[in-house]
Structure 1
Amino acid sequence: MSTAPFDYNTQRPRLIIPEYGRNVQRMVEHCLEVDDREKRTHTAKAIIQVIARLNPHLRNHDNFERTLWDHLWIMSEFKLDVDAPFPMPKPEELESKPERVPYPQTAVK
């Protein structure tokens, strides 16, 4: 009888964007390990195509390709160095909170 321990997701590293799944996260980690910049760029573009196929509803957005590239940089923790069609955003830009909405302070009728 085998007593090998089970591999639970709770014991694995946390997914940065869980909607894309562990396989996409592994692809991003592999892309970070590629030494040649040209191959790394080609791999990143392939990952973008996979993400777009997994989430066809994103194509309805005005800037869906920009969103996918932003998600790729987030999943790589902003370490990915590729020739992308968009500049890499600063982490502070993506983590900033919107300003508070001013609500009227008058009494309700």
Structure 2
Amino acid sequence: MQEYNTQLAKIKLPEYGRNVQQLVSYCKTIADRDRRNACARTIVGVMGDLYPELAEVSGRKNILWNHLAIIANFELDIDYPCEILKADEIVARPEPIVNTQSNIRTRMYGKRTEELVAHACTIEDRDERIRLFALIANQMKRNFHNTYKDASEEDSKIIQDLVRYAGEQFRDDIAQIELLDAKTLEMNTQYDPASLVVSKKKKKKKK
């Protein structure tokens, strides 16, 4: 059954979207500290790519890393590269970031998406790898929809782009992914990445 936002825990920083929050949740599960640190750096890069205007803001790095800590509910055990405020030191919610997305295709996904895909490709457990591909694909769709709201055939393009990033050897993995509809992504609805993985048999029945 579809979960509705009224039934979900409040998203920490809505301007980044629930998909980023779920990437942070995934990062928490990585046992190896070096890999967890690398994943956190990539997520912060994704957050920065969503708001390129922060490049002109003094203390940009501190802002993004503190936002990561907030999204993680201060439970992400990593080597932060700057001072992070403690939960009891935050007296007010950070000011929201104004989105001024550019209609430039090279900015649509961002370099960090490629880094996340590269990380996913190193995961040996196939089920875990496909679940991360599903998270990445839906973040790509969110970025795509923000830039090209009236675009048609966006799902097929996103799948093609993800295969291009990951390589042909992962085409079968990526073929098992289902993308959420644009309305669900806009609502920041929580979802289980495993629910977006379908068997080839199930896909054939849908046709």
Fold match, TM over 0.5?
Answer: yes
Give the aligned CA root-mean-square deviation in angstroms: 1.4
Whose helix proportion is higher, 1 or 2? 2
What is the one-letter code of the residue matched to 1:72?
Answer: L
Cα deviations across residues 57-89 of structure 1 (Å, max 9, x unaligned)?
A: 222210011100000001111111111211332
Number of aligned residues: 92
Report the Cα offset of residue 90 of structure 1.
1.5
Hey, what's the Cα distance between the residues in 2 that align with 1:83 and 1:51? 18
Deviation at 1:91, TM superposition (A): 1.7
Deviations, residues 35-55 of structure 1 (Å, cap 9, x unaligned): 111111001000000000111
Percent identity, please: 38
TM-score (norm 2): 0.42
Report whether the alignment pairs 1:82 with 2:74.
Answer: no
Residue 54 of structure 2 is aligned to residue 33 of structure 1 = no
Gaps of 5+ in 1: 97-109
2:89 is the alignment partner of 1:93 = yes
Matched-pair contact (CA < 8 Å) for 2:62–2:83: no
Query: What SS does the aligned partner of 2:90 have?
Result: helix
Runs of 4+ in 1 over 6 A off after TM superposition: none
Name the TM-score, length of structure 1 as normaliser: 0.77
What SS is found at the alignment partner of 2:12?
A: coil
Bigger Rg over Cα: 1
Q: Does 1:51 align with 2:47?
A: yes
